[in-house]
Structure 1
Amino acid sequence: MIVREVTAERINAVVNHEAVRPWVTMPGQGALDLSEVVADPRNVVLMTEDGSGGIVFHQHEPGIYEAHTQFLPEARGRDALAAVREMIDHMFVATDCMELLTRCPVGNRPAEALSRAVGGVLDFERASGWLTEKGPVGVRYYAIRYPEWVKRAPGLPDVGHWFHERLEAENARLGHPDELHDDDPAHDRHVGAAVSMILCGQPAKGITLYNRWARFAGYAPVAIVQAAPLVIDILTHLVLVQDGDLEVLQCQ
Structure 2
Amino acid sequence: MHLPTEAGLRDGAIAVARRAVELGVTLIDTAHLYGWGANEELLAEALYPYPDELLIATKVGVAPPAAGREAALCGRPDFLREQVEEGLRRLRMERLELLQLHRVDPEVPLADQVGTLGELQAEGKIGHIGLSEVSVAQLDEARQIVDVVSVQNRYSMLDREHEPVLDACDAAGIAFLPWRPVHPAVAGATPEIASVAEELGATPAQVSLAWLLHRSPVVLPIPGTGSIVHLEENVAAADLQLSDHQFRRL
Structure with more relative contact order (C-alpha pairs < 8 Å, separation 6 or more) = 2
TM-score by length of 1: 0.25
Larger radius of gyration: 1
Larger relative helix fraction? 2
Q: Report the TM-score when normalising by structure 2.
A: 0.25
Higher strand share: 1
